Amino acid sequence: MSPKTLYDKIWDAHLVDATEDGTSLLYIDRHLVHEVTSPQAFEGLRMAGRGVHAPDKTIAVPDHNVPTTPDREKGIENEESRIQVEALDKNAREFGVNYYPVDDIRQGIVHIVGPEQGWTLPGMTVVCGDSHTATHGAFGALAHGIGTSEVEHVLATQTLIQTRSKNMKVEITGELHPGVTAKDITLSVIGKTGTAGGTGHVIEYCGEAIRKLSMEGRMTVCNMAIEGGARAGLIAPDETTFDYIKGRPHAPKGAQWEAALAWWKTLYSDDDAHWDKVITLDADEIAPVVTWGTSPEDVLPITGTVPNPEDFTGGKVEAVKRALDYMGLTPGQKLADIEIDTVFIGSCTNGRIEDLRAVAEIVKGKKIKEGIRAMIVPGSGLVRAQAEEEGLAEIFKDAGFEWRLAGCSMCLAMNPDQLSPGERCAATSNRNFEGRQGRGGRTHLLSPAMAAAAALTGRLTDVRELMAESEPA
């Protein structure tokens, strides 16, 4: 047998039909659904008199529009948001799919709920009408975002029409320094490849630094594969993966667990597999990073300065001019001098328990800078409960953070959590596009530890400085 990549193996195991021109029908093991990209798909089914092919493999949860303030049981004030969430409620119940409504403690961001409940397993194909479906690749599952027409296609047939992607390997060698996290890895990779560097490819992340990451960290890395343009991100499953999965509500049990484990252990790229593209980064050279512009590729170590448009070539020159104007920054300005108004900690990129622990470690016993608006939005009701049990919530509240309920929140500001024009935010989310967090809002992407540091000082800050302070003399 010819050597295969992990992607090839999963692809081959899910091929229903292939035609000579390369168009293939791929079976989908898990279909995650949220309220924003699904109403038209369910409506399409109704109009055509079609049903959901595999409701037991379909999981729905509202996340984008839900308020995250403690009074949310009062309901959703915005009429359109409310209608959208009500539509999901109606569709989920009518078509009989697995469903976590707003008032269920398991509700949260779809990409956090899926793994948490054990729906996402190695070797699966996972889709969702959401680009950050890439997150699930952390389990060695082939997971990618689809449009609403494709959502309807998967609902009706449990398959997707696909053409095979190319294979790209991103290897992170060596060990990360203290204060450097999964978020810094994934942003640094995008800084190196650009936001179109992965277009047409599925990325497999590997190397010592990736192996040493927890599942939470791996999800952060894969989550932003889409920001590098890739169709999906993958990490081969190992003991870390199996330990995370074992005992989760929808994970296999008993003899099935053993059978699953035997197959999962075959899910890796063969030694001499072919790669269409290879990128290598040395973890030793990765620093805590922040974005300065309006594309996730606009990333630099916190020790750097705002670049000059003339340092770039082609269409990027104009793009950087536009970005600096939008961001209100001047070339040469130190990144660590940039003052912020707001801190947002959460999202499918960094809304998991480990992210919250990292924040607590930095802010414990301290106060956020006066005048800063800072909120922590856990990725699910269960993450929130765990943080409360571990005493993290008290640390956050004592430091002056708002402690919210689960949802997508200010990552894309479809609910009331939004930036005002010109408001500058240090955010642990995934996109710094113009207007992403609110019209005219200015976003700097960074890790949870870096966001915590920014909340304390009121400016973008090298978290390593604060870590040095808290070490015993």
Partner 1 sequence: MDKFTKITGVAAPLPLINIDTDMIIPKQFLKTIKRSGLGVNLFDEMRYLDDGSENPDFVLNKPAYRKAEVLVAGDNFGCGSSREHAPWAIKDFGIRCVIAPSFADIFFNNCFKNGILPIALPQEQVDVLMKDAEKGENARMTVDLEAQTVTTSDGEVFSFEVDAFKKHCLLEGLDDIALTLEKTPAIESFEARAEMERPWV
Kindly state whether residue 43 participates in binding partner 1, applying the rule CB under 8 A: yes
Amino acid in the structure at residue 457: T
Say how far residue 306 (Cα) sits from the centre of its chain. 26
CA distances from 138 to 165, 191, 220 (A): 18, 20, 8
Query: Tokens in use for 254?
Result: 């008993």
Stretch that binds partner 1, among 78-86, 101-109, 281-289, 356-364 (CB under 8 A): 78-86
DSSP at 365: T
- 6, 10, 39, 283: which one binds partner 1 (CB under 8 A): 39
If the CB atoms of residues 147 and 247 are measured against partner 1, the closer one turns out to be 147
130 is a site residue for partner 1 (CB under 8 A)? yes
Which of 439, 465, 468, 470: binder of partner 1 (CB under 8 A)? 439
Q: What is the full DSSP assignment across 396-455?
A: HHHHT-EE--SS-GGGTT-SS--PPTT-EEEESSS---TTTTSTT-EEEE--HHHHHHHH
- DSSP assignment of 372-394 equals -EEEE--SBHHHHHHHHHTTHHH
**Interacting residue with partner 1 among 69, 101, 106, 148 (CB under 8 A):** 148
Residues in the chain: 473
Check residue 65 for interaction with partner 1 (CB under 8 A): yes
Question: Which range, of 332-340, 342-350, 393-401, 428-436, touches partner 1 by CB under 8 A?
Answer: 428-436
Beta carbon nearer to partner 1, 39 or 233: 39
Compute the least distance from the CB of residue 427 to partner 1, in Å: 14
**Between 163 and 330, CB nearer to partner 1:** 163
Question: In angstroms, what is the minimal distance from the CB of 303 to partner 1?
Answer: 26
Q: Is 278 in the site for partner 1 (CB under 8 A)?
A: no
The answer to whether the CB of 187 falls within 8 A of the CB of 296 is: yes
Question: Is the CB of 414 or the CB of 463 nearer to partner 1?
Answer: 414
User: Helix (H, G, I), strand (E, B), or coil: what is residue 72?
Assistant: helix
Q: Which of residues 302-321 bind partner 1 (CB under 8 A)?
A: 314-316, 318-319
The C-alpha atoms of residue 101 and residue 95 are separated, in whole angstroms, by 15
Q: Does 190 bind partner 1 (CB under 8 A)?
A: no
Q: Is 463 left (phi over 0), alpha (psi -120 to 50) or beta?
A: alpha
Binding mask 373-412 toward partner 1 (x if CB under 8 A, else -) reads: ---------------------------------------x
Shortest distance (Å) from residue 225 CB to partner 1: 11
Q: Does 90 bind partner 1 (CB under 8 A)?
A: no
Residue ranges of alpha helices (H) inside 158-275 are 182-193, 208-211, 215-223, 239-245, 254-264
Please give the size of the binding site for partner 1, defined by CB under 8 A.
77
The answer to the question of residue 420 lying near partner 1 (CB under 8 A) is: no
Residue 369 beta carbon to partner 1: minimum distance, rounded to whole angstroms: 29
Q: Whole-number minimum distance, CB 319 to partner 1, in Å?
A: 5
Instruction: Compare residues 199 and 214 and give the one whose CB is closer to partner 1.
Output: 199
Dist. CA 277–CA 202, nearest whole Å: 10
266 binds partner 1 (CB under 8 A): no
The H or E element spanning position 47 is helix 39-48
Nearer to partner 1, 25 or 336 (CB): 25
Residue 123 is a binding residue for partner 1 (CB under 8 A): yes
Which residue, among 192, 188, 198, 185, has the nearest Cα to 225 in the 3D structure?
198
Of 209 and 411, which has the nearer Cβ to partner 1?
A: 411
